[in-house]
Amino acid sequence: MNTLAVTDGQVLRPDHSIERTDVLIDTDDGTIEALGEFDEPADEQLDATGGLVIPGLVNAHTHVAMTLFRGAADDKPLDAWLQEDIWPVEAELTGEDVRAGARLGIAEMIRSGTTAIADMYFFMPEVAAVVEEAGIRARLGHGCITVGKDDEAAHEDFEAGLEFAREYNNTADGRVKTLFTPHSLTTVDKQFYEEYIPKAHDAGIPVHIHANETTQEVEPLVDEYGKRPLEYADDLGILTEETFLAHGVHVDETERELLAERGTSVVHCPASNMKLASGMAPIQKLHDAGVTVALGTDGAGSNNDLDMFDEMRDAAMIGKLAEDDASAVPADAVIDMATKAGAETLGFDSGRLEEGANADLAVLDLDSLHLMPQHDLVSHLVYAARGSDVRHTVCDGQVLMEDRELQTLSADDVMAEASEHATELFARAE
Amino acid sequence: MNTLAVTDGQVLRPDHSIERTDVLIDTDDGTIEALGEFDEPADEQLDATGGLVIPGLVNAHTHVAMTLFRGAADDKPLDAWLQEDIWPVEAELTGEDVRAGARLGIAEMIRSGTTAIADMYFFMPEVAAVVEEAGIRARLGHGCITVGKDDEAAHEDFEAGLEFAREYNNTADGRVKTLFTPHSLTTVDKQFYEEYIPKAHDAGIPVHIHANETTQEVEPLVDEYGKRPLEYADDLGILTEETFLAHGVHVDETERELLAERGTSVVHCPASNMKLASGMAPIQKLHDAGVTVALGTDGAGSNNDLDMFDEMRDAAMIGKLAEDDASAVPADAVIDMATKAGAETLGFDSGRLEEGANADLAVLDLDSLHLMPQHDLVSHLVYAARGSDVRHTVCDGQVLMEDRELQTLSADDVMAEASEHATELFARAE
């Protein structure tokens, strides 16, 4: 057994206690071998002195290549933003652009302690290649849509989605798993759900869609079918334990109970929901109903960063506003959303620093002005820390960042490549 | 004339254009001498290559020594938080604690590009001493309250507030100016406003109070006087052009018009308002009414950081949610809140990079993954940058941070001192 020891840090345990202990990693299989003090020196050491060791954060909903759109169009509502700014440029996207954008986004996430993502976009083999190269863990799906397409083109799109999901599942030593990702309940014709959801289930591929993000995604379905969107989704067989829904902003009590009953998770994207004025998801109510809620940044076009520390803070903040109650969505619940619940949603045995779990972790530097004094490190993780406090990032037992230096990607190359692709992409779309 | 040149950066101008130019500072009087390219080398150089030069940020409402409370009590509403967690510990505060807390908070703010603050707290001579030592610019007021005090104690408190304001105004080479700061409309008896507001006006000291932060601060006044809080405040002569109000969450249309008419500014504290579930201030409506709105972090106890980049992002985000409109409170308006409007509110000739203005500025490092690509740097300032991107901070022509190294304070000493004081303070309050 080859080993890596993360030494001399304080370790955040699944019960939110914090323990001074080392973490011994079996680097052959990428799991945590043990926590404790060890007599034998490990093959490699990662110094966590003065630091806090936390599970690698899970970004359970993003469109990583959209880093290329960061700051290109702000201060617009979802519909106008998609139709006027995003879709015309996306029409010009190439696989090389997606690769450059994915490298940028994944590098940014490694630098801010994220080790697992769920990504829905186009040219997904490119994203899979970057995930493999960068060393993180991912659930990837080709986003399928029928709006604006004739029947043949829509079928091609859905077949491509299914083919990607089958071909790439369990690649990159198991770090890449796949998803079947129809875009949303209103941008995909009912017949395509009827045709393809059973195929995804048969192939054992989890379904991930946008749902109930804005009121415009609720009303048309209520008007047409006389049902709430998630009742409609349930009729189509979408709501299973493996399925997870992005956003879930406008979910009523019936829908929350339905989610709990089916074991379907929701991925909360607070920054995107605020920036696009989509609304405030009822996170405390979802928790109270027993729904698993993960956390995601959404794409950098509507956030505009991929820093899960921002997202944790936003989730706590907006969660309180939504309930008109400052005790709602407390810090420990938010940490669970970004770790345990995220990993559970994506189906990875990560998100917890325990023997046997995947060795996916981040080490934060605590020796900073904005993290003093240290009455409560759980509070600091949510309300005061930020991605730039992450010193080391480890995924699957491999060190992806050490002392803020990326190990699997070159930050300079990634930035230069992304800037060039963004400039050329937007020039083509002019 | 002794000079400092900030060289080779891109400079954010008051109209939000960005210009490649040097900034020449007269370090004798601490003002900007000129922008342009200069033949003569300056006495000192500050390298801004690859960086963005912005006005120093203005944190227009904080309680800086409350950094000692960071993370000590979260996830509680304002009333319970004050009464159960904050006030019992504040009763044990010493001047030395306040000095340690102020050093910590001001160091954190310099590190995140803030050069001017408005601070309301206790032991204010200690805060003034730290402002002088650290080199920032501040409006300081001793917070006065009558709730829980007998008449004599309340008078002592108000006299102390007035005395501090008179004695410390225009000290530290003009970098310290003062405020008269009764706590809020509901925690100060009417007769004290009647007695002391004229005295503050006579002394030429601006008034700064908390107002309309929660519905509990509105209803009692409506019940007792049959008026909205700001109508009540106006009857008391509080609303002038020099006065500024913290929060203004629950202000109705009549009150917004009254503020505009009187020229009274509001300091928006979005993070604190979210964390305490106080509500969403109608910032776009205040802007539309012509009210000057500045931005503040409030204390670190309810935020939990003093990073104005977080605050800018929060202001844009919550501003959209409050209006149910993604085009509300756009990035350029937010930058103005944190710079021009803040400086105007505090009565400092800062917040703009122009000839003759105070040389208060920050230089951001743009060469970062999360700031790529660079379609729009104004967007990045609000939606993607964070305090840790600040490379240099200059106030009054003096370099307070260079290449992330504090120049006037020792970060290590400040952290050690604050931790020690926080530990002892909370032990005393047990």
pLDDT in tens, A139-178: 999 999 999 999 999 999 999 999 999 999 999 999 999 9
What is the predicted pLDDT for the residue at A141?
A: 98
Q: Kind and range of the H or E element at B334?
A: helix B331-338
Cα B237–chain centre separation: 24
Task: Say yes or no for a CB contact (<8 Å) between A379 and B68.
Answer: no
pLDDT in tens, B176-191: 999 999 999 999 999 9
Alpha helices, H only, A58-138:
78-80, 87-90, 95-111, 124-134
Name residues whose C-beta falls within 8 Å of residue A213's C-beta, 6 or more positions apart in sequence. A78, A184, A246, A247, A249, A250, A273, A278
d(C-alpha B214, C-alpha B73), whole Å: 19
Task: Say yes or no for a CB contact (<8 Å) between B324 and A277.
Answer: yes
Alpha helices, H only, B169-267:
190-202, 219-225, 229-235, 253-262
Q: Is the pLDDT of residue A236 over 80?
A: yes
Contacts of A318 in chain B (CB under 8 A): 274, 321
Instruction: Return the half-sphere exposure (C-beta side, CA atoms, 13 A cut-off) of residue B107.
Output: 26
Q: CA dist B14 to A86, B38, B241, B339, B359, Å?
A: 29, 21, 22, 9, 14
d(C-alpha B335, C-alpha B315), whole Å: 10
Task: Say yes or no for a CB contact (<8 Å) between A384 and B305.
Answer: yes
pLDDT in tens, B369-390: 999 999 999 999 999 999 999 9
Nearest-CB residue to B274 (from A321, A411, A422) = A321
Q: Is the pLDDT of residue B208 over 80?
A: yes
Q: Which residue of B has its CA nearest to A406?
A: B369
What is the predicted pLDDT for the residue at B285?
A: 98
* A-B contacts at Cβ under 8 angstroms: 208
What is the predicted pLDDT for the residue at A80?
A: 86
Contacts of A85 in chain B (CB under 8 A): none
Q: Is the pLDDT of residue A78 over 80?
A: no
Q: Which residue of A has its CA nearest to B316?
A: A275
As a whole-number percent, the residues of chain A with pLDDT over 90 amount to 96
Q: B149 vs chain A: nearest CA distance in angstroms?
A: 28
Contacts of A370 in chain B (CB under 8 A): 108, 111-112, 305-307, 387
| Pair of tokens at residue B287 | 């802007």
Alpha helices, H only, B15-139:
78-80, 87-90, 95-111, 124-134
Contacts of A68 in chain B (CB under 8 A): 373
Q: A186 vs chain B: nearest CA distance in angstroms?
A: 21
Neighbours of B199 (CB within 10 A): 16
Q: Which of A74, A426, A430 to mutate to test the interface with B (most CBs of B within 10 A)?
A: A74
What is the predicted pLDDT for the residue at A77?
A: 79
* Cβ burial, residue A95 (10 Å; 0-12/13-18/19+): middle
pLDDT in tens, A39-76: 889 999 999 999 999 999 999 999 999 999 999 999 98
- Residue identified by tokens 């021009």 is B340
pLDDT in tens, A253-267: 999 999 999 999 999
Burial B241-266 (b: 16+ CB within 10 A, else e): ebbbbbbbbbbbeebbebbeebebbb
Q: Is the pLDDT of residue A205 over 90?
A: yes
DSSP classification of residue A358: B
pLDDT in tens, B395-404: 999 999 999 9
| Structure confidence at residue B346 as a pLDDT band (50, 70, 90) | very high
What is the predicted pLDDT for the residue at A4?
A: 98
**Amino acid letter for position B418:** A
Q: What are phi and psi of A22, to 5 degrees?
A: -90, 160
| Structure confidence at residue A235 as a pLDDT band (50, 70, 90) | very high
Nearest-CB residue to B74 (from A383, A414, A415) = A383
Q: Which residue, B18, B20, B26, is CA-closest to B48?
A: B20
Cis ω on the peptide bond leading into residue B373 (within 30° of 0)?
A: yes
Instruction: Return the half-sphere exposure (C-beta side, CA atoms, 13 A cut-off) of residue A7.
Output: 14
| Pair of tokens at residue A175 | 């770090």
Q: Is the pLDDT of residue A430 over 90?
A: no
Average pLDDT over residues B297-317: 97
DSSP reduced 3-state for B128: helix
Q: B164 vs chain A: nearest CA distance in angstroms?
A: 29
Dmax of chain B from CA atoms? 67
As a whole-number percent, the residues of chain B with pLDDT over 70 amount to 100
Burial A218-239 (b: 16+ CB within 10 A, else e): beebeeeeeebbbbbbbebebb
Paired residues of A402 in beta bridges = A405
DSSP reduced 3-state for B180: strand
pLDDT in tens, A340-395: 999 999 999 999 999 999 999 999 999 999 999 999 999 999 999 999 999 999 99
Nearest-CB residue to B320 (from A274, A310, A414) = A274
Domains of chain A: 3-55+359-406 (2.30.40.10), 57-346 (3.20.20.140)
Q: CA dist A317 to A230, B279, B303, B415, Å?
A: 26, 11, 9, 27
Q: CA dist A425 to A148, A182, A411, B286, B373, Å?
A: 22, 25, 21, 39, 12
Task: Say yes or no for a CB contact (<8 Å) between A369 and B78.
Answer: no
Contacts of B74 in chain A (CB under 8 A): 330-331, 376, 379, 383
d(C-alpha B249, C-alpha B167), whole Å: 33
Average model confidence (pLDDT) across chain A: 97
Question: CA torsion sign, B333 to B337 to B343 to B347?
Answer: positive
